[in-house]
Amino acid sequence: MRFIVLSVLALLVLPAAPGSAQSGPSDRSIADRLPLFARNNCQQIRDPGNQLICGDAELAAAAEKLGAAIEARLARLPDRLPAIEENAIWIRQRNLGCGIVGQTAIRADDFDRVKACLLKVTEERAAIVRDPDFDCLAANTAAGALICADPSLALTETELNSQVLRLIGRLDPTAARFAFAEYGRWTRERDRKCNLVGKENVPLAELSSAEDCLADHLKRKTEEIAAAKGDPKKVFGRQVAARSPDTDAVDFCAARIHAANSCGNFLRINRVYAVDSQVTDQEAQVTGEIEMVVLAPFTMCSKVASTCTGTCWDPRTGRPQPGVGSKERSGEAFNVTRRLRVQRTFAFVKAADGWRCREDELAPVNSGTAGGGS
């Protein structure tokens, strides 16, 4: 979990992709205005805004305070990956709001204006993130909006989060990683059961029928944790099979694969769909579509790509590129907030306790697409 915290803090000062760091006239002109540029090796940073933060003491101090606020926020949340994604989206908006476009060098005439803008928005962001109410306000799902609109539901969820974090805190790092992944899966199952998937832009008044479903979920999980009496092993890791060969089964399988390979350091499973299934008495083949969001950069053809997305990717087409030889591999990386979709057929076998997933990796995928950022 510490790696995830460090990853999101590192988004404030993103390093260059391998081989992309270059020292040119724009670097030198920036260096002349930034006293810490050479000492902090800021030329290794490709983002112009982050170069300013790296080389200016005032901006670096503001970024450090923001980093501490982000770390405190993540420590309040058992499902932390959406918050990491939200922070990455904010960094993009920060750059655009301050007139920074892509990796275009900041002109000398704009230096003071851009620095003042970065300082202002970074200090404002730190103050906002420190407020516990922001956890609710930043929710970008239909379920999150409904919960935050109801003080009773919001309070119940806050208390549940605290109880979950106390339980997970008693686990060793490996078990904790699986527990965090399991909690994220619970959230996705809840949204499917309450018919709230993909309804982020639907008016709350039209979603009121889901409030009872959300309340039942929170009540059931709260009672489950209370019954555990402080023993996390009575809550997490108990389920080893899916109830039915359906979307929840695909999600169960994908979540365990991601947890086993520490994929949460780089990707968040956003949505899961079952698109086809063939079921007999003892076996099932379920084809599912898994949508993931990039949380930290990784090379399009790398161990992370093959393990966590099931394939290498073609940077030109945004499509899977399986079986790529070492000489053909691209050094290009997926940027933060990029969305990936893969379709894969999962095999399940019927057991006494339900349907057990027979897969231990996402490869091979049937198809896939790499879309734009959030």
Pair 342, 223 in one domain:
no
Residues 139-197: tens digit of each pLDDT:
789 999 999 999 999 999 999 999 999 999 999 999 999 999 999 999 999 999 999 99
Pair 73, 14 in one domain:
yes
Residues 206-223: tens digit of each pLDDT:
999 999 999 999 999 999
Pair 122, 17 in one domain:
yes
Q: Which domain holds residue 41?
A: 2-136
Pair 62, 26 in one domain:
yes
Pair 157, 229 in one domain:
yes
Residues 33-80: tens digit of each pLDDT:
888 888 888 888 888 888 899 999 999 999 999 999 999 999 999 988
Number of neighbouring beta carbons within 10 Å of residue 261: 18
pLDDT (mean) for 297-317:
94
Pair 231, 318 in one domain:
no
pLDDT confidence band for 259 (50 / 70 / 90): very high
Mean pLDDT of the chain: 88
Instruction: Among 198, 217, 238, identify where a domain stops.
Output: 238
Instruction: Among 136, 169, 194, identify where a domain stops.
Output: 136
The structure tokens 């994604």 sit at: 85
Pair 265, 339 in one domain:
yes
Q: How many domains does the chain have?
A: 3
Pair 125, 98 in one domain:
yes
Distance of CA 73 to the CA centre of its chain: 15
pTM for the predicted model, two decimal places: 0.83
The structure tokens 């402080």 sit at: 230
In this predicted structure, what is the pLDDT of residue 3? Answer: 42
Pair 286, 252 in one domain:
yes
Pair 26, 126 in one domain:
yes
Instruction: Among 88, 107, 136, identify where a domain stops.
Output: 136
Pair 90, 151 in one domain:
no
